[in-house]
Amino acid sequence: MQSDHRPSGPAHILITGASSGIGTALALAYARPGALLSLAGRDEARLNEVAAAARSQGAETDAAVLDVRDRDAMAAWVVAADQRRLIDLVIANAGISGGTHGGPESAEQTRAVFAVNLDGVLNTVLPLVPRMTGRKAGQIALISSLAGHRGFPGAPAYCGSKAAVKVWGESLRGELAAQGVKVNVVMPGFVKTHMTDVNDFPMPFLMSAERAAEIIRRGLEKDRARIAFPWPMAAMAWFVAALSPAILDPLLRKLPKKN
Which runs of E-coded beta strand occur in the chain? Answer: 12-16, 36-41, 60-65, 89-92, 139-143, 182-188, 191-192, 207-208, 226-229
Conformational region of residue 58, where left means phi above 0, alpha means psi within -120 to 50, and beta covers everything else: left
Shortest distance, position 246 Cβ to ligand NAP, whole Å: 27
Say whether residue 118 binds ligand NAP (CB under 6 A). no
CB neighbour list of residue 120: distance below 8 Å, 6 or more residues apart: 16, 68, 69, 74, 92, 94, 95
Say whether residue 230 binds ligand NAP (CB under 6 A). no
**Using the rule CB under 6 A, which residue among 193, 219, 220, 237 binds ligand NAP?**
193
Say whether residue 109 binds ligand NAP (CB under 6 A). no
Question: Whose Cβ is closer to ligand NAP: residue 143's or residue 185's?
Answer: 143
**Using the rule CB under 6 A, which residue among 11, 20, 27, 139 binds ligand NAP?**
20
Question: Whose Cβ is closer to ligand NAP: residue 152's or residue 190's?
Answer: 190
Shortest distance, position 15 Cβ to ligand NAP, whole Å: 9
Q: Which residues is 39 bridged to in the sheet?
A: 15, 63
DSSP three-state, residue 182 = strand
**How many residues are given for the chain?**
259
Say whether residue 191 binds ligand NAP (CB under 6 A). yes
Shortest distance, position 174 Cβ to ligand NAP, whole Å: 23
**Using the rule CB under 6 A, which residue among 10, 95, 98, 138 binds ligand NAP?**
95
Say whether residue 169 binds ligand NAP (CB under 6 A). no
Say whether residue 100 binds ligand NAP (CB under 6 A). no
**Using the rule CB under 6 A, which residue among 11, 12, 13, 19 binds ligand NAP?**
19
Catalytic residue among 158, 168, 190, 229: 158
In one-letter notation, the amino acid at residue 61 is: T
Residues 170-189 that bind ligand NAP (CB under 6 A): 188
Say whether residue 93 binds ligand NAP (CB under 6 A). yes
Q: Is the dihedral of CA 61, 168, 172, 237 positive or negative?
A: positive
Going across the sheet that includes 12-16, the strands are: 60-65, 36-41, 12-16, 89-92, 139-143, 182-188, 226-229
Say whether residue 124 binds ligand NAP (CB under 6 A). no
In angstroms, the first-to-last Cα distance of the chain is 61
Say whether residue 96 binds ligand NAP (CB under 6 A). yes
- Please choose, from the candidates 39, 169, 184, 181, the residue with its C-alpha nearest in 3D space to the C-alpha of residue 117: 169
Residues 33-92 that bind ligand NAP (CB under 6 A): 41-43, 46, 67-69
Question: Catalytic annotation on 30?
Answer: no
Catalytic (active-site) positions = 158
